[in-house]
């Protein structure tokens, strides 16, 4: 088939939903995407290196909070979705998405080993006319400088024999308002044809054709994602710094933000806390900082924001210590119940959880730590495993201090009525009371 015939063949298969879609990496990003494609009529093959993930999904169950077994089960039963750990099962795919982790190492250097391994898997099944879309968050240049050469080791040429694009994921775990179907997508391909093919496919998930924004290159799409996440990291750092100043000045930072947020233009509210956790905000800006060094460029905002955000755990503990001092209780030996363990409200994901970091710091300082998080049944703290208390236990607890580290439906009123000191790091309880202080 000629190159033009290949494009038209794939385009038709995408439009008619006869195409088979492969998704490599069936986690928080890959699974919702895979299931959404199966739900709109594509054949979907999900590939993951974890046998446990593959077995869970093929049994019709799910390991991701936002994808219920009631969505997976019928798709497995009617063969529109199946998971596999065998690379060659992807050989029937017309399109593959790469949705594998992009962490950093201890020196905050990007770890592209998962992307490399997934790309090498794709190379084993790559054929003429295939579309490859990278979705993992990464530094500008990854698609063209890192993924492309690996795929071209096959002898096939990107943009001629096969199509290549980057389209960042914007999934927000736990968010019931915004999902794969209604969140706008950005996509940049190696050539205009690559971009158009990826756009056609992504639009098939959406009702509104304006929801896919094409950009001129994968680099622009990669940088756009890093701008989004760096913007959050920097603005969170700004309010975290402001929260510390406001405390010194006796001004309520939460009232300040609410007041500023009445401005209908030019301001977006961000809120202080113990620092952003998870797989994205504390990690992604460092992908950019690392890449910038190649250009002898220092990304000062990124470093400063990370510095301020990282200090918030210690700052929160200092504030707890002040509250204990008022009651003549030392932190060493104090019993402290922490509310929340996940990296944010309503999810079970504990990657880079700042709440767990606070628990570790409290323990290091000699406090006796317990916790409650209905989404996280146990956490590892040092060499120990702690079991979550139930919400009923929380209401009855007799701790020296309760620290609200993550938002949630916590029984704060019953704690306050019993005179228990509460440090509320996330404004879960509204205006402070006699025994409850806010960050």
Binding site for ligand NAD (CB under 6 A): 24-30, 47-50, 53, 99-102, 114, 117-118, 121, 136-137, 169, 171, 173, 279-280
Are 319 and 439 in contact by the 8 Å Cβ rule? The answer is yes
- Alpha carbons 399 and 57: distance in angstroms, whole number: 41
CA distances (Å), origin 383, targets 137, 337, 379, 387: 32, 19, 10, 13
> Which H/E stretch holds residue 356?
helix 354-364
Question: Is 25 or 408 the residue whose CB approaches ligand NAD more closely?
Answer: 25
Question: Is 342 or 401 the residue whose CB approaches ligand NAD more closely?
Answer: 342
Are 113 and 39 in contact by the 8 Å Cβ rule? The answer is no
Question: Is 114 or 139 the residue whose CB approaches ligand NAD more closely?
Answer: 114
DSSP annotation of 98 reads E
Distance in Å, CB of 356 to ligand NAD, minimum: 17
Distance in Å, CB of 170 to ligand NAD, minimum: 6
Name the residue among 189, 34, 31, 25 with its Cα closest to residue 99.
25
Helix (H, G, I), strand (E, B) or coil at 83: strand
Q: Is 194 a catalytic residue?
A: no
- Alpha carbons 370 and 290: distance in angstroms, whole number: 38
Query: Around 350, how many Cα atoms within 13 Å sit in the side-chain half-sphere?
Result: 16
Distance in Å, CB of 36 to ligand NAD, minimum: 14
Question: Is 123 or 256 the residue whose CB approaches ligand NAD more closely?
Answer: 123
Question: What Rg value do the Cα atoms of the chain yield, rounded?
Answer: 24
Helix (H, G, I), strand (E, B) or coil at 21: strand
Paired tokens of 251: 């001004």
Are 239 and 246 in contact by the 8 Å Cβ rule? The answer is no
Distance in Å, CB of 343 to ligand NAD, minimum: 9
Are 39 and 71 in contact by the 8 Å Cβ rule? The answer is yes
Residue that is written with structure tokens 């050469």 in the block: 149
Distance in Å, CB of 109 to ligand NAD, minimum: 15
Distance in Å, CB of 344 to ligand NAD, minimum: 10
Catalytic residue (choose from 93, 246, 280, 338): 280
Distance in Å, CB of 31 to ligand NAD, minimum: 8
Question: Is 102 or 144 the residue whose CB approaches ligand NAD more closely?
Answer: 102
- Alpha carbons 57 and 51: distance in angstroms, whole number: 10
Question: Is 11 or 50 the residue whose CB approaches ligand NAD more closely?
Answer: 50
Question: Is 121 or 247 the residue whose CB approaches ligand NAD more closely?
Answer: 121
Residue nearest to ligand NAD (CB): 27
Q: Helix H segments across 78-191?
A: 113-125, 148-152
Are 341 and 388 in contact by the 8 Å Cβ rule? The answer is yes
Q: Which residues are catalytic?
A: 280
């Amino acid at each position: 088939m000629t190159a033009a015939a290949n494009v038209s063949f794939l385009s038709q298969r995408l439009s008619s939903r006869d195409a088979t879609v492969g998704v490599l990496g069936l986690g928080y990003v890959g699974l919702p995407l895979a299931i959404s494609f199966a739900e709109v009529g594509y054949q979907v093959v999900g590939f993951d290196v974890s046998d446990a993930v593959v077995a869970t999904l093929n049994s019709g169950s799910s390991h991701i909070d936002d994808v219920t077994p009631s969505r997976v089960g019928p798709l497995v039963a009617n063969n529109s979705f199946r998971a596999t750990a065998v690379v060659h099962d992807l050989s029937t795919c017309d399109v593959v998405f790469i949705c594998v982790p992009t962490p950093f190492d201890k020196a905050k250097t990007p770890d592209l080993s998962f992307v490399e391994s997934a790309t090498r898997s794709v190379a084993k099944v790559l054929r003429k006319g295939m579309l490859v879309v990278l979705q993992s968050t990464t530094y500008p240049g990854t698609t063209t400088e890192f993924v492309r050469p690996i795929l071209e080791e096959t002898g096939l040429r990107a943009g001629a024999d096969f199509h290549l694009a980057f389209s960042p994921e914007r999934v927000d775990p736990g968010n019931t308002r915004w999902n794969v179907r209604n969140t706008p997508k950005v996509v940049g391909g190696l050539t205009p044809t690559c971009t158009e093919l990826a756009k056609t496919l992504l639009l098939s998930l959406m009702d509104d054709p304006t929801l896919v924004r094409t950009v001129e290159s994968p680099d622009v799409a990669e940088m756009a994602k890093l701008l989004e996440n760096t913007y959050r990291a920097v603005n969170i750092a700004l309010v975290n710094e402001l929260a510390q100043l406001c405390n010194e000045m006796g001004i309520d930072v939460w009232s300040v933000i609410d007041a500023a947020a009445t401005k209908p233009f030019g301001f977006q509210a961000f809120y202080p806390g113990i620092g952003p956790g998870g797989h994205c905000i504390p990690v992604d800006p460092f992908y950019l900082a690392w890449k910038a060094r190649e250009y002898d460029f220092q990304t000062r905002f990124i470093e400063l924001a990370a510095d301020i955000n990282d200090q918030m755990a210690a700052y929160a503990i200092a504030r707890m210590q002040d509250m204990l001092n008022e009651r003549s209780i030392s932190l060493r030996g104090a019993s402290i119940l922490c509310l929340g363990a996940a990296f944010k409200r309503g999810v079970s994901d504990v990657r880079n959880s700042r709440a767990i970091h606070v628990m570790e710091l409290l323990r290091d300082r000699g406090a006796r730590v317990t916790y409650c998080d209905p989404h996280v049944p146990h956490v590892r703290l040092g060499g120990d495993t702690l079991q979550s208390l139930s919400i009923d236990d929380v209401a009855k607890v007799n701790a020296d201090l309760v620290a609200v580290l993550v938002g949630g439906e916590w029984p704060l009123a019953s704690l306050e009525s019993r005179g228990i000191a509460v440090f509320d790091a996330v404004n879960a309880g509204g205006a402070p009371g006699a025994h409850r202080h806010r960050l």
